[in-house]
Amino acid sequence: MKNSSKIRTLLIFLSIILGVIYAMPNFINFSSNSVSYSFLPGKKINLGLDLKGGSYLLLKADMDTVFEEKLEGLMSDIRYSLRKSKIGYKKLVARNGFVSFEKRGETLNENIKSAILGLDKNLIVEIKNNRFLINFSEINKQEITKATMIQAIEIVRRRIDETGTNEPSIQQQGADRIIVQLPGLDDPSRIKKLLGKTAKLNFQLVHPSISSDDIQKEANAPPGYVILEEDKNPNRLYMVNKRVMVSGEMLKDASPTFDRNNSPSVSFQLSPLGGKKFGRVTGENIGRPFAIVLDNKVVSAPVIQSQIFSTGQITGSFSVQETNDLALVLRSGALPAPMIILEERSVGPGLGSDSISSGKIASIAGLIAVMIFMLMTYGVFGVFANIALFCNIIFILALLSLLQATLTLPGIAGIVLTMGMAVDANVLIFERIKEEFKSGREIFDAIESGFQRAISTIVDANLTTLFAALALFSFGSGPIKGFSVTLMIGIVTSMFTAIIITKYLVLLYSKKRDIKKFIFQE
Amino acid sequence: MKLLRLIPANTDFDFLSLKYFAFLFSVLIIFGTLLSLYFNNLNYGIDFKGGILLELRAKNVQDSDINDLRTQVSTLKAGEISIQGFGKEGDFLIRIQKQEGDQSQQIAMIEKVKTLTENEYTIRRSEFVGPTVGDELKTAGIYAVAVSLLAIMVYIWFRFEWQFSIAAIIALIHDVISTVGLFSFLQLEFNLATIAAILTTAGYSINDTVVIFDRVRENLRRYKSKDHYFIYNKSINETLSRTIITSVTTLIALFIIFFFGGAVLSDFALAMIWGVLIGTFSSIFVAVSILTFFDINKGEKVDDQSSIPEYERDK
């Protein structure tokens, strides 16, 4: 018995010391590389964006566009495969979410089907009166989405890194979403602009005889051609060959520069393979306009003056900032899918630091007020409860630092609320001891059975609160999650401090003094 | 030192005699909530209905004027706009409805407001929530409340009798509805933080209820010869001191958040203050009163003398 109480004392002090050590960094003001704190193992609590200021963006990859593009790709694969298998077909199109064609000749439907499924066994092939309808299955779509997202996150990261933002966090959420967190950045408009462009760069030839002035908006393009708008001037149209001669994937580098007329432009360098292709195309088409197409809009269509190999310039009516951004997105590569911004939350540094200071004031004022009230209500027992409460706060801070959970403004409210609710366990115990004592038990008996009986109530009551906090955690986002985390930690630590620390103090005290006086001092 | 006593020792109030008044009160609150929801609906924040929110602070407080700001912003023709003071003087909150058209229109609108107000104000916070996310958050919120109520009900069912879990859940639903009612009646912004407040309130209220139920269960075993009415009243009285003290400490903390926690948290604190008051009321009056409608089995009609305090034992 004596030994076990020694072990208990040791464990209690050990946990408090650990708590203090891990909570400590939060009370020391240090510059990130100062030596004075490096002996402490813990880190500071991770502050949420609402406290340290910054931007939160929720992006969604527009997968429908990707599926459409992939369907085009599927169409050429099917064409190739049908030709290879010598199967006659007509009216091969990719439209309304299907690739479709009609069979020509006597080939068995089964053979056609197996030729198509040879491309990918998960494709869905339907046959309706001689017309074959081919579509991606859910498995195909999931695979496409997965691959697209891996690439998209990489590109998003590259683009954000290039802007020099500090410690950005980029995570996938769900199947097709990306959460971007940018601490310290309160105006994300540049980032949004950068992520708003897929930045698909293509070099395509312009129709040799149809000049821009002759094109009507609703005109039909001749086969193999498409009408595109000019980027800065939607009224100016170009008849552009659908065939992409050189694409942005063959880009090795891009940087902002100035052209001969000293207006801002972007110079680029192609990969060896791209350079070869570019050289061939420009060599064969001297004197023809060559359209630089970015995200399906014509940036400019300079006339090819001479054969160009691996380096060139993109000119247009740019501002310096625009050439910086264009070079950046070209360097980082094209996004595999357009990004839609679903949600944006930005907090300026002023509001963040105001929130921290009002949070601090509320916490300290809350702590003092609750302590005074407990002291007034329970006297010496109130001192015990207050010591337990103080330990509780240290444990909460220590656990938040240790788990590197994010502390948000609602999270601070959660801590203050826990102060109010944490004393509940103590109140339950003290009230119970009083009752047990009044019912005629000896004082030590009363303390022991008071604790015993209160504990089952405490556990029941706290577990049910924990359920609510868990539900909050699983559904919540950002700040609300932060609130539920502090609430959960607070519930657990308050049970620990009330049951272990308060009991320890009460027993310690009761051995030394006549405790009766203090319970019923009225 | 003289200790503070909020509740006299050994109270013996007949709480259950007030049961029908309490029911009337509850029915009035719930009816009021429904009426208010019908006529006022809820003042959904952008979290749920989508839209744009900007918090501005005047660079020069003396010159800032809400009417000026209103006229300026109304030139944007952005549809439904609400502008209100927020916290300190010179701080304003602008809410703009979801704009027609795609995402780029929404983002363009934020930029427009920024450029418009840039000279006189600093932007402290800007938020944009798209309609898809708003709908998802709404569903998730309802889901979270439902799941936690269910989990609590199941837990109480396991730990107590099924009658207790029915009574607890009715009391909880009563609390949730009343809090929603407060938001509808005062037209406070109903947002994600409100859901958090409602769930925490539910957690607090169930905590209270469980403490009383725990005592009811104990007393049911102890006083087998006494009727339920006596036992319920006795249980409430025995736990009354604890109920009040805990409510007071929690309210102290909440009032401090309300006054010192800044404008962002004040509605949140208000919801919880109301929730604690309603939760305490419902634990005492609603939850226990509902128990009286069930016939909870006590077993044999013999007291467990050993567990009764000496001075109360049958002589």
Taking residue A127's Cβ as centre, other Cβ atoms within 10 Å add up to 12
Chain centroid, CA B215 distance in Å: 25
Q: How far is CA B264 from the centre of its chain?
A: 17
Nearest chain A Cα distance for residue B23, angstroms: 25
Residue B313 has pLDDT above 60, yes or no: no
pLDDT of the residue at B308: 55
Whether residue B220 lies inside any domain: the answer is: yes
Residue B10, in any domain of the structure: no
Q: What is the pLDDT of residue B97?
A: 85
Q: Could you identify the residue written with the tokens 């990719």?
A: A94
Residue of A nearest to B311 (CA): A439
Element (DSSP H or E) covering residue A133 = strand A131-135
B252 belongs to a structural domain: yes
- Check: CB of residue A238 under 8 Å from CB of residue A208: no
CB contact under 8 A, A373 and B159: no
Is residue B297 over pLDDT 80?
no
Q: Which residues does chain A have within 8 Å of residue B111's beta carbon, measured at their own beta carbons?
A: 189
**Buried b vs exposed e over A419-447: b needs ≥16 C-beta within 10 Å?**
bbbbbbbbbbbbbbbbbbbbbebeeeebb
Q: Which of B96, B129, B162 is the last residue of a domain?
A: B129
Inter-chain touch B268–A413, beta carbons under 8 Å: yes
φ and ψ at A125, to 5 degrees? -115, 125
Rounded Cα distance between A467 and B203, Å, is: 8
Instruction: Mark yes or no for CB contact A475/B260 under 8 Å.
Output: no
Other beta carbons less than 10 A from residue B35's beta carbon: 13
CA dist., res. B184 & res. A455, Å (int): 39
Q: Output the six-digit token pair for A316.
A: 């247009």
- B206 and B193 co-located in one domain: yes
Looking at the structure, do residues B307 and B236 belong to the same domain, yes or no? yes
> DSSP of B84-149, one letter per residue?
EEESEEEEEEEEEPPPSSSHHHHHHHHHHHHHHHTTTEEEEEEEEE-HHHHHHHHHHHHHHHHHHH
Q: How many of the other CB atoms lie within 10 Å of CB of B208?
A: 26
Residues from chain B that touch A421, judged by Cβ atoms under 8 A, are 204, 207, 246, 249-250, 253
Q: Do residue B97 and residue B143 come from a single domain?
A: no
Q: How far, CA to CA in Å, does A141 sit from each of A62, A132, A215, B177?
A: 13, 20, 38, 43
pLDDT of residue B169: 92
- Mark the ranges of chain A whose per-residue pLDDT is less than 50: 1, 31-33, 35, 520-522
CB contact under 8 A, B272 and A417: yes
* B4 lies in some domain: no
Q: Mean pLDDT in chain A?
A: 84
Least confident of A503-512, B211-220, B279-288: A503-512
- Asked whether residue B229 falls in the same domain as residue B195, the answer is yes
Same domain, B124 and B183: no
Residue B35 maps to a domain? yes
Q: Which of B129, B157, B176 is the last residue of a domain?
A: B129
Between residues A100 and B5, which one has the greater pLDDT?
A: A100
Query: Is residue B33 domain-shared with residue B124, that is, in the same domain?
Result: no
Supply the DSSP symbol for A179.
E
Q: Give buried/exposed letters for B233-262 (b at 16+ CB in 10 A, else e).
A: bbbbbbbbbbbebbbbbbbbbbbbbbebbb
Q: Are residues B102 and B194 in the same domain?
A: no
d(CA A224, CA B261): 65
Tell which of B129, B161, B182 closes a domain.
Answer: B129
Q: What ipTM was predicted for this assembly? A: 0.84
| Number of other CB atoms surrounding residue B85 within 10 Å | 13
**Would residue B119 count as lying in a domain?**
yes
**CATH number of domain containing B61:** 3.30.70.3400
Parent domain of B164: 15-43+134-312
Closest-CA distance of chain B to residue A196, Å:
9
Q: What is the DSSP code string of A364-421?
A: HHHHHHHHHHHHHHHTHHHHHHHHHHHHHHHHHHHHHHHHTPEE-HHHHHHHHHHHHH
Please indicate, yes or no, whether residues B81 and B110 belong to a single structural domain of this protein.
Answer: yes
Higher pLDDT, A371 or B60: A371
- The answer to whether residue B228 sits within a structural domain is yes
* Dist CA A407 CA A44 (whole Å): 10
List, in order, residues 6 or more apart from A183 with CB less than 8 Å away.
A49, A52, A53, A54, A166, A167, A168
Mean pLDDT of B153-182: 90
Looking at the partner chain, which of B3, B110, B264 has a beta carbon nearest the beta carbon of A377? B3
Instruction: Note whether B111 and B171 are same-domain residues.
Output: no
Q: What percent of chain A stands above pLDDT 90?
A: 11
- Nearest-angstrom CA–CA distance, A452 and A445: 10
Q: Are residues B142 and B122 in the same domain?
A: no
Domains assigned to chain A: 2-52+348-519 (1.20.1640.10), 64-140 (3.30.1240), 200-325 (3.30.1360.200)
Q: Which residues of B touch A462 (CB under 8 A)?
A: 207
Which of A345, A369, A460 has the CB atom closest to B214's CB atom? A460
Burial class, A167, CB count within 10 angstroms (exposed 0-12 / middle 13-18 / buried 19+): exposed
Query: To the nearest whole angstrom, how far is the Cα of B310 from the nearest Cα of chain A?
Result: 6
Predicted pLDDT of residue A520: 47
Q: Which residues in chain B are contacts of A60 at CB distance < 8 A? A: 132
CB contact under 8 A, B124 and A351: yes
Using CA atoms, how far apart are residues B54 and B128, in angstroms rounded to an integer?
A: 9
Count of domains for chain B? 2
Q: Quick one: B124 and B171 in the same domain?
A: no
Strand partners, A60: A177, A340
Alpha helices, DSSP H, located in B261-307: 263-281, 288-291
Count of pairs with CB atoms under 8 A, one residue in A, one in B: 246
Disruptive mutation site among B55, B123, B200 for chain A (greatest number of A CBs within 10 Å): B200
Are the Cβ atoms of A479 and B204 closer than 8 angstroms? Answer: no
In a domain, B9, yes or no: no
- CATH number of the structural domain spanning residue B169: 1.20.1640.10
Query: How far is it, in rounded angstroms, from Cα B165 to Cα B170?
Result: 9
Task: Name every residue whose Cβ is closer than 8 Å to that of residue A473 and which is 6 or more positions away in sequence.
Answer: A481, A484, A485, A488
Q: Number of helices and strands (H, E) in chain A?
A: 15, 19
Q: Name the helix (H) or strand (E) containing B211.
A: helix B192-222
**Would the CB atoms of A476 and B200 count as touching at under 8 Å?**
no
Question: Which pLDDT does position A517 carry in this prediction?
Answer: 56
Are A472 and B132 within 8 A, CB to CB?
no
pLDDT at B300: 56
Whether residue B169 sits in one domain with residue B305 = yes
